[in-house]
Amino acid sequence: MLDTRWTRLAALAAAAGLTACTGDRGTDGTAATGAVADVSEIASAESMEARLAKFAPVTLTFDESLLDENRRTVVKNLVEASDELDRIFELQAWRGNADPASWLPAGDDAESRAAREYVRIMVGPWDQLDDGRPFIDGVGPRPTGAGSYPEDMTAAEFEAFVAQYPEVADKLTSYYTVVGRYGDAIVATPYSEAYRDRLTAAAENLRIAAAAAENASLAKFLEERADAFLTDEYYESEVSWMRLSDNLIDPTIGPYEVYEDALFGYKASFESYIGLRDPVESERLESLVVYLPSLEENLPIPDEHKYLDRAFTSPISVVTLIYGAGEARKGTQTIAFNLPNDPRVREEEGSKKVMLRNVIDAKFVTILKPIAEMVLDEDQAARLTVDPYFTRVLMHELAHGLGPDYVTGHPDLTVNKALRDLYSALEEAKADVVGTHSLGVLAAQGVYTEEFQEEVYIDHVADMFRCVRFGAEEAHGKGCLIQFNYLWENGAIDYDDETTRFRAVIDLMPGAISDMAGQLLLLQATGDYAGAEAFLERYGTMTPEMLGALERLDGVVPVDIRPTYAVKEMMETW
Ligand code: ZN
C-alpha cells in the first residue's frame, strides 16, 4: 500500500503552503447545495412523530426452509459483517455519529423516542425528506462532504491542493480514502486504516461464510472481498461479484455508491444487500440483455459518444432481500441497483443489475398505486399495475449501463469525475429517461406492446411524484424533479386546474423523453459541468401545481417503507 507514504509526502511537500484556487467555474463546487445552506440552519417545526409516520413499517421475510445448516452459517456471517459496515457507514455519514450522547435527545417522551428512531433511519440528524435540514435542535447544516472530509473543507481548498500536488491527486480523489488535514496539507487515509477494526471483523465473517459456502463462485467472491477490506484493492472482487453464478445467496457488500459525498461525489459508502436469488425470474429478465447493443445504438446522441463495442454480458439477479445495512438502509429504500461503479470492470464485464423484488412489490402497493390514485386522472391511475413499474425499474438499472462512462476524447476522465457533485442527480435522471426511451425502442421492435408502452409513460409520470418526495437534495429526488419540469415545459404532462389532477400526454411523451435523454447524455459525454449546473438549475424548482399535489399526499400516503428484517429473529434460533 502506497497510500500512507503518499500522504506523508504530501504533508511534507505542503509545508510550502497553498496557492489560491482560481477555479474554472466561479464556485466552490457547492452551489447546488449551498443555495439551501441558509435555510438548512432552521429546523422545520414538523413533529418527530409526523416525520416517522412517513415511513410505513414493512417486515421483509423469506422462506427459511431454503437455508440448510451451511447456508445459515453463510447468511449469519453475512449479516454480522453487514452490521460492521453499518457502524462504518454511520461515521461516513457524519463524524458526529461517533458521539451521539452530545446531541441526541435522551428523554423518554414520545417525541424524543421518535427523534432517536428517526436518527436511526436518517443515520444522523438531517432529514433527507426535508432537503437535508436538521431535525434536532442545536445541530447545524449537514457538512457537504459528510464524514469523508473535514467539515469546514471547501471544494476550492481541496482543488487548490490537488492542483499544486498532482502526484497525490489519485489518493485524495480515490473512492476508498478518507480526507483529513495534516498541518497545511490535505491527506488521504485509506479505508483499511481509517476503519481497520471493523473491516478486520467483517473480513473474518466473510472468510467463515466463504468456508461454509457450497457455491464456488460465491466462496471466491467472499474470500476476495475479505482481502479487499484489508487492502483497499477492490477490482478483483468486483470482477468475481460479476461472475457469481448458480448461487442462491446473493450478497452485495462493500463500499459502493458516492451519493453521500456532496462535495465531489468521490467517496464510496459502505453498504450491504443480502438477497436470495430467484433463478426463474432472473433468467426471464436476462433474455432482455440481447437487446442492449441495439439500445446503445439507439441512444439519441451522435455515434461518436456511443460505446458500440462495449461488453454487454450484463447479468441480472432478481432477489428477495433478506437484509440491508449501511447506506442501503438509510432513508428511502433502494428497489434495484446496478453495480459495480468501477468503469474498468464495467468496460470488461458489463454491470450487474440486482432487482429487489419484495421491496418493489411493497413500494408499489404501499405507495405508488395510492399516489397515482390521488394525483393522476382516474382513467390513467386505473391503468397502473406492478408490471410496467417493475419493468421500468429494470430498464432504469439497465440504462445506468448505457451511454458515456468517460468524457469523449478523454479516456482517463470518467463522467463521474468531470461532473463531480452534479453527477449523481444527473445520472439518476439519465437512467430514468434513457430507460423509458429504451422501452420505446423495444416496443417498436415488438418486444412489448404499444399498450404496455403507454402504461410505462403513465407509470413514469406517477413515479416522479413518488420520488420527488425524497427531497430535492437527494440524487433520485432531484433527478425526478428535473424530469418532471422538463416534461411539463414540453407539454408532455397535462394538468387540469379544476380537478387538480395530472395526466401523461401519451402522444408527446416519446419525443420529450428522447429529447431530454439526448441532452443529459450529451452533458455527460462532454463532461460539461457548467452546462449540467445550468440544466439542474433551470429544471430544479417545483411548480405550484406539483407542490399542491405533494401537499395533498402529505400525511395520507407514506413517503417510503421502513423495513425490518425477519432474518434477525430467525438467526436467534439457528
Ligand atoms: Zn439509479
Structure confidence by residue, pLDDT tens digits, 98-127: 999 999 999 999 999 999 999 999 999 999
Looking at per-residue pLDDT, the higher value among 88 and 12 belongs to 88
Gap from CA of 392 to ligand 1 centroid (Å): 11
Structure confidence by residue, pLDDT tens digits, 406-434: 999 999 999 999 999 899 899 999 999 99
Sign of CA dihedral 402, 408, 414, 420: negative
Gap from CA of 53 to ligand 1 centroid (Å): 26
Gap from CA of 333 to ligand 1 centroid (Å): 12
Backbone torsions φ then ψ of 6, nearest 5 degrees? -55, -50
Please report the pLDDT score of residue 287 as a whole number: 81
Gap from CA of 320 to ligand 1 centroid (Å): 19
Pairwise CA distance, residues 346 & 352, whole Å: 9
Gap from CA of 144 to ligand 1 centroid (Å): 21
Please report the pLDDT score of residue 469 as a whole number: 84
Gap from CA of 20 to ligand 1 centroid (Å): 36
Gap from CA of 400 to ligand 1 centroid (Å): 7
Pairwise CA distance, residues 383 & 543, whole Å: 26
Looking at per-residue pLDDT, the higher value among 473 and 212 belongs to 212
Taking the CB of residue 283, how many other CB atoms lie within 10 A of it? 11
What is the mean pLDDT of the segment spanning 547-554? 93
Gap from CA of 1 to ligand 1 centroid (Å): 32
Pairwise CA distance, residues 542 & 548, whole Å: 10
Gap from CA of 354 to ligand 1 centroid (Å): 11
Please report the pLDDT score of residue 44 as a whole number: 62
Gap from CA of 448 to ligand 1 centroid (Å): 22
Gap from CA of 337 to ligand 1 centroid (Å): 6
Say if residue 310's pLDDT is above 90.
no
Given pLDDT bands bounded at 50, 70 and 90, which one contains residue 293? very high
Say if residue 238's pLDDT is above 60.
yes
Gap from CA of 48 to ligand 1 centroid (Å): 29
Please report the pLDDT score of residue 327 as a whole number: 97
Given pLDDT bands bounded at 50, 70 and 90, which one contains residue 198? very high
Gap from CA of 30 to ligand 1 centroid (Å): 22
Q: Which residue, among 72, 84, 339, 89, has the nearest Cα to 203 in the 3D structure?
A: 84
Please report the pLDDT score of residue 346 as a whole number: 83
Please report the pLDDT score of residue 343 as a whole number: 83
Please report the pLDDT score of residue 315 as a whole number: 84
Gap from CA of 479 to ligand 1 centroid (Å): 10
Gap from CA of 506 to ligand 1 centroid (Å): 24
Q: Which residue, among 188, 185, 193, 163, has the nearest Cα to 175 in the 3D structure?
A: 188
Q: Is the pTM of this model over 0.85?
A: no
Pairwise CA distance, residues 248 & 140, whole Å: 45
CB 457 within 8 A of CB 505: no
What is the mean pLDDT of the segment spanning 307-318? 80
What is the mean pLDDT of the segment spanning 254-272? 94
> Worst-scoring range by mean pLDDT, 88-97, 283-292, 325-334, 442-451?
283-292
Cell 440486482 belongs to 354
Q: What is the mean pLDDT of the chain?
A: 89
Gap from CA of 286 to ligand 1 centroid (Å): 18
Sign of CA dihedral 273, 235, 409, 301: negative
Q: H helices then E strands: how many in the chain?
A: 26, 13
Gap from CA of 432 to ligand 1 centroid (Å): 8
What is the mean pLDDT of the segment spanning 314-319? 88
Gap from CA of 21 to ligand 1 centroid (Å): 33
Gap from CA of 428 to ligand 1 centroid (Å): 5
Gap from CA of 395 to ligand 1 centroid (Å): 10
Backbone torsions φ then ψ of 64, nearest 5 degrees? -60, -25
Gap from CA of 386 to ligand 1 centroid (Å): 18
> Worst-scoring range by mean pLDDT, 208-222, 232-246, 384-398?
384-398
Please report the pLDDT score of residue 39 as a whole number: 39
Q: What is the DSSP letter of 322?
A: E
Gap from CA of 176 to ligand 1 centroid (Å): 21
Given pLDDT bands bounded at 50, 70 and 90, which one contains residue 191? very high
CB 439 within 8 A of CB 448: yes
Gap from CA of 257 to ligand 1 centroid (Å): 10
Given pLDDT bands bounded at 50, 70 and 90, which one contains residue 149? very high
H or E element, residue 139: none
State percent of the chain over pLDDT 90.
78
Structure confidence by residue, pLDDT tens digits, 357-398: 999 999 999 999 999 999 999 999 999 999 899 999 989 988
Say if residue 484's pLDDT is above 70.
yes
| b/e code 388-423 from CB counts within 10 Å (16+ = b) | bbbbbbbbbbbbbbbbbbbbbeeeeebbbbbbbbbb
Please report the pLDDT score of residue 313 as a whole number: 66
SS (H, E, C) 513-574: HHHHHHHHHHHHHCCCHHHHHHHHHHCCCCCHHHHHHHHHHCCCCCCEEEEEEHHHHHHCCC
Distances (CA, A) of 158 to 145, 177, 398, 422: 11, 14, 34, 17
The protein residues having their C-beta less than 5 angstroms from ligand 1 (an ion) are 428, 431
Collapse the DSSP code of 207 into the 3-class scheme (helix H, G, I; strand E, B; otherwise coil) and give the result: helix
C-alpha cell, 423: 453527477
Cell 489519485 belongs to 170
Given pLDDT bands bounded at 50, 70 and 90, which one contains residue 64? very high
Given pLDDT bands bounded at 50, 70 and 90, which one contains residue 280? confident
Pairwise CA distance, residues 335 & 520, whole Å: 23
Pairwise CA distance, residues 464 & 10, whole Å: 46
Gap from CA of 389 to ligand 1 centroid (Å): 14
Backbone torsions φ then ψ of 53, nearest 5 degrees? -65, -15
Gap from CA of 463 to ligand 1 centroid (Å): 13
For β-strands 560-565 and 55-60, DSSP reports them as: parallel
Backbone torsions φ then ψ of 476, nearest 5 degrees? -70, -40
SS (H, E, C) 418-446: HHHHHHHHHHHHHHHHHHHHHHHHHHHCC
Given pLDDT bands bounded at 50, 70 and 90, which one contains residue 48? very high
Gap from CA of 402 to ligand 1 centroid (Å): 12
Gap from CA of 431 to ligand 1 centroid (Å): 6
Gap from CA of 41 to ligand 1 centroid (Å): 29
Q: What is the DSSP letter of 214?
A: S
Collapse the DSSP code of 324 into the 3-class scheme (helix H, G, I; strand E, B; otherwise coil) and give the result: strand
Please report the pLDDT score of residue 462 as a whole number: 96
Please report the pLDDT score of residue 3 as a whole number: 30
Taking the CB of residue 23, how many other CB atoms lie within 10 A of it? 14
Gap from CA of 224 to ligand 1 centroid (Å): 26
Q: What is the DSSP letter of 102?
A: G
Gap from CA of 529 to ligand 1 centroid (Å): 20
CB 317 within 8 A of CB 250: yes
Helix 529-538 / helix 509-525 crossing angle, nearest 10 deg: 150
Pairwise CA distance, residues 494 & 159, whole Å: 44
Structure confidence by residue, pLDDT tens digits, 15-31: 222 222 222 222 222 22
Gap from CA of 425 to ligand 1 centroid (Å): 9
CA 191 to chain centre: 20
Gap from CA of 468 to ligand 1 centroid (Å): 14
Gap from CA of 397 to ligand 1 centroid (Å): 6
Gap from CA of 85 to ligand 1 centroid (Å): 22
> Worst-scoring range by mean pLDDT, 41-45, 155-159, 510-514, 563-567?
41-45
Pairwise CA distance, residues 79 & 61, whole Å: 14
Gap from CA of 484 to ligand 1 centroid (Å): 16
Q: DSSP letter string over 475-520?
A: HHHHHHHHHHHHHHHTTSEEEETTTTEEEE-TTTHHHHHHHHHHHH
Pairwise CA distance, residues 176 & 183, whole Å: 22
